Amino acid sequence: MNETQSSGRGGAFDLSQFHSVFFEEAGDNLANMEMLLLSVDNTSADDETLNAIFRCAHSIKGGAATFGFQDVADLTHVMETLLDKLRRHELNVTRLMIDTLLESGDVLKQLLACRQQGVRADVDFAPLVTRIGDLTAGRVVVVDPPAGHAAVQAASKALHTEPLIELEIGPLDNPGAVDAIAELFTEIPGLGTIESMADVDHPDGPCKRLMVRSRSSDGDLFDLLSFHIARERIRIARKDAAPIAPAPVASAPKVAAPAAPAAAASDDFGFFGDPVSAPPAAAPVAASVAPMEPVAAAPAAAPAPMRRESDRSGGGVNLESSTIRVPIEKVDQLINLVGELVITQAMLAQNGRDLDPVAHQSMMVGLADLERSTRLLQESVMAIRMIPMAMVFNRFPRMLRDLASKLGKQVDLLTIGEDTELDKGLIEKITDPLTHLVRNAADHGIEPPAERLAAGKPAQGTVTLAASHSGGSIVIEVRDDGRGLNREKLLKKAIERGIPVHDQMTDQDVYGLIFEPGFSTAAEVTDISGRGVGMDVVKRNIVSLGGSVEIDSTLGRGMRVSVRLPLTLAIMDGMSVGVGHETYILPLASVVESIHLNDEDIKSVGGTGRVVEVRDSFLPIISVRELFDVRPERDGEGGIMIVVEAEGGRIALLVDELIGQHQVVVKNLESNYRKVPGVSGATILGDGRVSLILDVSWFVRRARH
């Protein structure tokens, strides 16, 4: 079918206007297919699950054939043939079939990404098609060991020139980050090479421009480089495309698929939205084939499929969706407008307090109705951005499956509370930290099967992801039943690195050492972990979102990492406080208590420091008035002391008065003005004035130093 079709009246229209919808639906179908494949039990495959997988492949093939994406249609067609035999019980499900179908999904992601970007796909999937055909025909396929992957990848790399990529990094707070990034290209095989490096002038500080040759995707580069520098300080620009050698005619897959006219192969693709994120496809695996009768699947030491606490049916694809697709930009615009409405309503309410309620009774009733409707509208609009944690959790079964196979371990994934909702902006930012925590749990936490059996544990370890609401926050836990943290080993490693420690440190303080930059207890460096990068970035990223992270561990029984985050970054519950003639906002989640303070309660320490005793413990004092140089309205240091908590520490903030508690619309100060130390954002008060939102974590860190 051509991309330009004729309508019933003989006119023509361009099908490219529907590309964005196809790519979104295809991405959803691929994600659903991968999740269903990982849930398949080789010994007793569920019919509904197999039917659902077949429908996913069929939907992708139908859309691809419609738009003339013949490579996608060809691959999904042979997948359909295998899946059709499986659902009709003409073949038994084997682990190799599942692995092959998962690999096919990876290739489809890459093909779709190239189609969406309008470039030719440099993917030879003919060996994959041959392998699927052999499996469909019931022939035994013997896959070469993993060493064969390296040979195929090396041969593929020799045939194609790696693309030239420009990396601009900075402004740099730590010049050593560039050296660490340069080491990555020398230590990680296949990452690429650095051709040149130059200094770049930037108003905010020094930057570096690196010209590298790499076949890694932008997403992979971002994930790797962000261990050393914040993602927002990395800019990637592709300077040229990799030359693609024309594939021999004989290598084209010979499969039966709906034919498409030549016009459908045009590279002129219209699309909207961001490109589909496509990981590099697995290298084709050499296989030797012998004609034999179909055989049952042999038991394999494979990670068990993901289990969920809530017992759900296998489920399939909902062919009649009850949802609509709306660009996130429209949702953000709606939220901003509602935020402005909340501010306007607060202004009207404040002005209404000066009116006589008897003389203006109808207006007061209208203002009360407006306040109630505004709050309901605000809650409803905010709910649009709330996304279930299942969107994050669903990406880990495949990752754990591949990781466990690489490590020679057996790992089961259990998820709890996947229906718990979190703001979309936070979902995107928490994914990378959670990925690192899950990888750490599988690599450092879960022991090899022999070690677990010797310790009286089952051979298969369990990694648990749990999400739940707690007050105005969400708590996400990553738990494992592995070896746990060794206090003595952590202290010894800290001493080797020159980190000040002592034997009287609490377990929580000792466990917190793993968040120190460069700290690692791995015996050797691998491509999975051990470089001492990651955990400090995990904590820094979580704290930057207004969250906190805690560790609990029992040696020999496992470890738990608890991440606490606000439900949304757009609206928060705050406590307004007065300091001189200024009004500031404190996040209510960080406020522990408020106490009236007299001058004689303040004690001096070391001549410059000041503390106050609260329930047999001394808390450092920070005067907001002095810090921000606010003109006092009265003499003396007495006033209100507010105890706040962040990053596991408590301090006392001195303010002049408490004004009240209310929801505030958070505005990004950095994007509208500049970054201000001690301030995380701003809001507009009911009287129209701008009020700064204090960064409690910054105050705690300042008090520690």
Between vectors from CA 490 to CA 486 and to CA 493, what angle results, nearest 5°?
A: 140
- Does the pTM surpass 0.95? The reply is no
Instruction: Map tokens 């707070």 to a residue.
Output: 173
Query: What tokens were used for 343?
Result: 């501010």
Predicted confidence band of residue 637 (pLDDT cuts 50, 70, 90): low
Cα dihedral across residues 129, 132, 137, 142: positive or negative: positive
Q: Give me the pLDDT at residue 5, please.
A: 45
The predicted-structure confidence for 264-302, as pLDDT tens digits, reads as follows: 333 332 322 333 333 333 333 333 333 333 333 333 444
Mean pLDDT for the stretch of residues 517-538: 58
Q: Give me the pLDDT at residue 306, please.
A: 53
Q: Where are the domains of the chain?
A: 1-143, 164-238, 328-385, 388-566, 571-704
Residue 322 CB burial class (10 angstroms; 0-12, 13-18, ≥19): exposed
DSSP-assigned letters across all residues of 50-103: HHHHHHHHHHHHHHHHHHT-HHHHHHHHHHHHHHHHHHTTSS---HHHHHHHHH
**φ, ψ for residue 491, nearest 5 deg:** -65, -40
The predicted-structure confidence for 208-244, as pLDDT tens digits, reads as follows: 888 888 877 777 787 777 767 777 788 888 775 443 3
**φ, ψ for residue 169, nearest 5 deg:** -120, 125
The span from the CA of 632 to the CA of 625, in Å, is 7
Instruction: Map tokens 């693309």 to a residue.
Output: 163
Q: What is the mean pLDDT of the chain?
A: 75
**How many C-beta atoms surround the C-beta of residue 240 within 10 A?**
9
Of 520, 522, 519, 511, which is closest to residue 560 (Cα–Cα)?
Answer: 511
Strands (E), 218-265: 234-238
Kindly tell me if the per-residue pLDDT of 138 is higher than 60: yes
Predicted confidence band of residue 118 (pLDDT cuts 50, 70, 90): confident
Fold of 328-385: Helix Hairpins (1.10.287)
Residue 502 CB burial class (10 angstroms; 0-12, 13-18, ≥19): exposed
The span from the CA of 562 to the CA of 645, in Å, is 16
The yes/no answer on whether domain 1-143 falls in CATH 3.40.50.2000 is no
Q: For residue 148, what is the enclosing H or E element?
A: helix 147-159
Q: Give me the pLDDT at residue 479, please.
A: 93
Q: Give me the pLDDT at residue 307, please.
A: 55
Predicted confidence band of residue 608 (pLDDT cuts 50, 70, 90): low
The span from the CA of 158 to the CA of 173, in Å, is 38
Kindly tell me if the per-residue pLDDT of 254 is higher than 50: no
Domain with residues 571-704, CATH architecture: Beta Barrel (2.40)
DSSP-assigned letters across all residues of 290-330: E-----PPPP---PPPPEESS--------SS-------HHH
Q: What is the CATH number of domain 388-566?
A: 3.30.565.10
- Contact between residue 481 and residue 557 where contact means Cβ atoms under 8 Å apart: yes
The predicted-structure confidence for 679-694, as pLDDT tens digits, reads as follows: 888 888 877 788 899 9
Structure-model confidence comparison of residues 108 and 608, the more confident one:
108
The predicted-structure confidence for 415-445, as pLDDT tens digits, reads as follows: 999 888 888 878 878 888 888 899 889 888 8
Q: Give me the pLDDT at residue 701, please.
A: 80
50-54, 80-84, 303-307: least confident range: 303-307
Structure-model confidence comparison of residues 207 and 532, the more confident one:
207
Q: Which of 186-200, 412-426, 448-462 has the highest mean pLDDT?
A: 448-462
The predicted-structure confidence for 567-582, as pLDDT tens digits, reads as follows: 766 677 789 999 988 8
Strands (E), 106-240: 140-143, 164-169, 193-200, 207-213, 234-238
The predicted-structure confidence for 6-17, as pLDDT tens digits, reads as follows: 444 444 445 666
DSSP-assigned letters across all residues of 181-212: HHHHHHHSTTS-EEEEEEEE--TTS-EEEEEE
Half-sphere exposure of 137 (CA within 13 A, CB side): 13
Contacts of 501 (CB under 8 A, 6+ apart): 491, 494, 495, 510, 513
Mean pLDDT for the stretch of residues 687-702: 84
Fold of 164-238: Alpha-Beta Plaits (3.30.70)
Q: For residue 645, what is the enclosing H or E element?
A: strand 639-646
Structure-model confidence comparison of residues 357 and 227, the more confident one:
357
Kindly tell me if the per-residue pLDDT of 161 is higher than 60: no
Mean pLDDT for the stretch of residues 394-417: 88
128-132, 173-177, 345-349: least confident range: 173-177
- Bridge partner residues of 595 (DSSP): 641
Between vectors from CA 208 to CA 207 and to CA 212, what angle results, nearest 5°?
A: 150
Q: Give me the pLDDT at residue 564, please.
A: 84
Q: What's 667's DSSP letter?
A: B
Structure-model confidence comparison of residues 186 and 334, the more confident one:
334
Q: Give me the pLDDT at residue 10, please.
A: 43
Query: What tokens were used for 205?
Result: 């500080």
The span from the CA of 49 to the CA of 40, in Å, is 7
Kindly tell me if the per-residue pLDDT of 256 is higher than 70: no
**How many C-beta atoms surround the C-beta of residue 206 within 10 A?**
15
The span from the CA of 15 to the CA of 66, in Å, is 9
Instruction: Map tokens 């002592």 to a residue.
Output: 502
Q: What percent of the chain has pLDDT over 90?
A: 7
The predicted-structure confidence for 459-508, as pLDDT tens digits, reads as follows: 999 999 999 887 667 889 999 999 999 888 888 888 888 888 887 788 88
Query: What tokens were used for 183?
Result: 């080491």
Between vectors from CA 680 to CA 675 and to CA 686, what angle results, nearest 5°?
A: 110
Q: Which of 151-155, 296-300, 356-360, 542-546 has the highest mean pLDDT?
A: 356-360
Structure-model confidence comparison of residues 531 and 400, the more confident one:
400
The predicted-structure confidence for 312-351, as pLDDT tens digits, reads as follows: 444 443 434 566 777 778 888 888 888 788 878 888 887 8
Q: What's 419's DSSP letter?
A: T
Of 319, 316, 391, which is closest to residue 83 (Cα–Cα)?
Answer: 316
- Contact between residue 193 and residue 185 where contact means Cβ atoms under 8 Å apart: yes
